[in-house]
Chains A and B, each alone.
Chain A
Amino acid sequence: MAFIEALQSIIPIALFFSAPLIFTALGGVFSERSGVVNIGLEGLMVMGAFVGVVFNLTFANVFGTFTPWLSMIVACIVSALFSLVHAVASVTFRADQVVSGVAINFLALGLGVFLTKQWYGKGQTDMVSQPFYSKSIPFLSDIPFLGPIFFKGIYYTSYLAIVLAFVAWFILYHTSFGLRLRSVGEHPMAADTNGINVYLMRYVAVMISGALGGLGGSVFALTISFNFSQSTIVGQGFMSLAAVIFGKWHPLGAMGAALFFGFAQSLSVISSGIPLLADVPKVYLTIAPYVLTILALAGFIGRAEAPKSIGKPYIKGTR
Chain B
Amino acid sequence: MFSSRMFNILVPVISVILGLIAGALIMLIFGYNPILGYQALWDGAFGNVYFFGETVRQVTPYIFTGLAVAFAFRSGLFNIGAEGQVIIGWLASVWIGTSLHAPMIIHLPITIIGAALAGALWGFLPGLLKARLGVHEVIVTIMMNYIALHVSNAMIRNVLTDGSDSTEKVAESALLSSDWLMEITGYSRLHYGILIAFLAAFIMWFLLEKTTIGYELRSVGFNRHASEYAGMSVGKNIILAMVISGAFAGLAGAMEGLGTFGYMPTNSSFTNLGFDGIAVALLGGNTAIGSVIAAFLFGVLKIGSLNMPTTAGVPGELVEIVIALIIFFVASSYIIRWVILRFKKEGK
Contacts and interface: CB of A to CB of B under 8 A. Distances in A.
Contact of A242 (B80, B143, B154, B278): B143
B268 interface: yes
B315 A287 contact: no
Given A99-B278, A103-B324, A234-B269, A242 B332 contact: no
Interface in A287-308: 287, 290-291, 293-294, 297-299, 306
B139 A245 contact: yes
Nearest to B320: A110
A32 to B, nearest CB: 11
A46 to B, nearest CB: 12
Given A107-B325, A117-B317, A293 B139 contact: yes
Interface in A69-126: 85, 89, 92-96, 98-100, 102-107, 109-111, 113-114, 117-118
Interface string B48-85: 00000000000000000000000000000010100000
Contacts of B138: 37, 39, 98
A39 B140 CA distance: 13
- Interface residue tally on A, bucketed by range: 35 or more
Contacts of A238: 142, 145-146
Interface in B255-283: 268-270, 275, 278-279, 282
B344 interface: no
Contacts of B312: none
A89 B154 contact: no
Interface stretch (B39-47, B129-137, B212-220): B129-137
A287 B150 contact: yes
Contacts of A283: 150-151, 153-154
Contact of B334 (A93, A107, A114): A93
A235 interface: yes
Given A99-B282, A283-B151, A298 B325 contact: no
Contact of A287 (B136, B147, B158, B334): B147
Given A96-B331, A109-B320, A283-B150, A102 B80 contact: yes
B335 interface: yes
A252 to B, nearest CB: 20
B13 interface: no
A234 B278 CA distance: 19
Contacts of A291: 143, 147
A273 interface: no
A64 interface: no
Contacts of A294: 129, 135, 140, 143-144
B7 to A, nearest CB: 15
Contact of A114 (B143, B278, B321, B328): B321
Interface of B: 26, 30, 78, 80, 129, 133, 135-136, 138-140, 142-147, 150-151, 153-154, 158, 268-270, 275, 278-279, 282, 309, 315, 317-321, 323-325, 327-328, 330-335
13 contacts: A39-B142, A89-B331, A98-B80, A100-B331, A103-B327, A110-B317, A110-B323, A110-B324, A111-B321, A238-B146, A241-B139, A242-B143, A290-B146
